[in-house]
Amino acid sequence: MSKVHTDYYGTHMKFTEYPKFGVLSGVKVVMTGINIAGPYVGSLMSEMGAQALQIEHPLQPCSTRGNYGYSQEHRNGFSVAIDTKSARGQEVFKKILGWADIWIESGRPGMYAKMGLSDEFIWENVNKKLSIVHVSGYGQYGPDKDKAAYDVSGQAMGGYMYLNGTSPTSAPLKVNPYLSDYATALNATICALSLLHHATVTGEGDSVDISQYETMFKLLGSYPADWFNRSYPAPGEPVRWRTGNVSDQAAAFSFYDCKDGGTIFIGCVGPGNVKRGFPLFGLPLPGTTDPDIYDNFGGCLITLPVGQRIEAAIKKFCMERTVDEVEAELNAAGIPNQKAFGPEDILKNEQYAAREDIITWTDSVYGEMKGYGVMNKFKKNPAKIVASAPTIGEHNIEVFKALGFDDKFIDDMYEAGEFSGMDPKETAERWRLKEWQFFWRPDQAEKLGL
């Protein structure tokens, strides 16, 4: 068992017994949303010690349930499934917001304000220090605010797809898997913690409006400044930035094919790298025999004649060697390189193993699983995985009682269908995990009585 699991508590974590660990110990986060961009924020924080509670509707669970993603991405989490539009459900919801330090919501813009839960109402009547993060496809205002959105909506409108393609004349290309969702979650995490700091200092909450398309637009680097100050292609014209695995700008800064079919990134730019790398590729040392490769040469545009000469030399070098041979020679010379990893490379890689990036844990539905571990290595207060992902509504009763609701209130909610939950067997049946072949061993289904 990985070291990261020395404090593993089993498949069910009691709501009132969350262990203290990590740099966010004591921080309380609630998420309302059913996709990745919002709820994943709580998952990221929970690895760092925050207590993260996801609220789902009994009839509309998180859309990442029913596959491996939820089991991997919602470890350490808590779940309640309540109808927040019912009177009792809203009472519980307000109590939860009063308990929380941070609220991540990713519903339709204005949805909670229409329920009477505007930011201002919450600060004045529920929790004056609450940090509120609104996550949506297009933002809380503007003519597109009510458009439905998924991950690819952000990639498409943000210009990210426009940049990517296999050739200047190819169609725009989306990036897998769900880049806009995950980038937005990381953006939202930064903003949530910034809001929390502000509330700690001032004693007052604030909110932030985060959109997926703006998150992706902000990731375009220098390109918007280039487009809007110089030029960009007219409709129907080739898009010169769509060059696939080849750099659209720099020579010696692309992926190159090797004789065994492998592909490897080489970044031989900068005077030091050029000085060490060019002799390997059969190119002259800067400042010696070639006026185009002058003293202290650090690289050039791929479109220039000298850039094309450099590209041809590197391609020839790679096609005469296997990808492992290229990697070994470049590593020995100190030239930045990285072959494109697949699953087997990741599983066998010593760097991954040394940093415990692949771990095994026990999921309440699937049993023993293997997947990614804790990515950020804190020195004094390490992040941890201490519980498996919860089934929907797994912590209903525990949360209600911890918030002060009595048995009659809870029974009345249950009888009215205002909350519900599923155990592991019901989870597998609801999402047809056996029929759809999500189990990879027969005993997984047998343990659940299926």
Residue 171: band (very low, low, confident or very high) from pLDDT cuts 50, 70, 90? very high
pLDDT for res 196: 98
| Average of per-residue pLDDT values in the chain | 94
* Tokens encoding 370: 């293997």
User: Which amino acid is residue 124, in one-letter code?
Assistant: E
Q: At what angle do helices 323-333 and 305-319 cross, to 10 degrees?
A: 120
**CA distance linking residue 334 with residue 346, whole number of Å:** 22
pLDDT for res 12: 82
pLDDT for res 86: 92
Q: What is the DSSP letter of 289?
A: S
**CA distance linking residue 335 with residue 327, whole number of Å:** 9
pLDDT digits (tens, 9 = 90+) for 377-416: 999 999 999 999 999 999 999 999 999 999 999 999 999 9
Respond yes or no on whether the N-terminal peptide bond of residue 177 is cis (omega within 30° of 0).
yes
Q: Does residue 28 contact residue 50 with C-beta atoms inside 8 Å?
A: yes
Q: Judge whether residue 368 has pLDDT over 60.
A: yes
**CA distance linking residue 450 with residue 439, whole number of Å:** 11
**CA distance linking residue 176 with residue 56, whole number of Å:** 26
11 or 101: which leads in pLDDT: 101
Q: What is the DSSP letter of 118?
A: -
β-pairing, 51-56 with 28-32?
A: parallel
pLDDT for res 76: 95
Residue 202: band (very low, low, confident or very high) from pLDDT cuts 50, 70, 90? very high
Residue 49: band (very low, low, confident or very high) from pLDDT cuts 50, 70, 90? very high
Active-site residue identified among 101, 181, 248, 363: 181
Average pLDDT over residues 232-248: 94
Q: Judge whether residue 214 has pLDDT over 90.
A: yes
pLDDT for res 8: 40
Active site residue 181: yes
pLDDT digits (tens, 9 = 90+) for 410-425: 999 999 999 999 999 9
**CA distance linking residue 332 with residue 284, whole number of Å:** 19
Lowest mean pLDDT among 9-13, 55-59, 421-425: 9-13
Say whether 343 sits in a helix, a strand or coil: helix
Start-to-end CA distance of the chain, whole Å, equals 28
Q: Judge whether residue 165 has pLDDT over 90.
A: yes
Q: Judge whether residue 10 has pLDDT over 90.
A: no
pLDDT for res 2: 32
Percent of the chain with pLDDT over 90: 93
Residue 375: band (very low, low, confident or very high) from pLDDT cuts 50, 70, 90? confident
Q: Judge whether residue 5 has pLDDT over 90.
A: no
Looking at 215-258, which runs of residues are DSSP E strands? Answer: 253-257
Cross-strand pairs, 105: 32, 134
Q: Where are the alpha helices (DSSP H) in 288-422?
A: 305-319, 323-333, 343-348, 350-354, 396-402, 407-415
Average pLDDT over residues 252-269: 97
Average pLDDT over residues 190-203: 98
pLDDT for res 4: 34
pLDDT digits (tens, 9 = 90+) for 63-106: 999 889 999 999 999 999 999 989 999 999 999 999 999 999 99
Q: Judge whether residue 7 has pLDDT over 60.
A: no
Residue 6: band (very low, low, confident or very high) from pLDDT cuts 50, 70, 90? very low
pLDDT for res 372: 94
pLDDT for res 34: 87
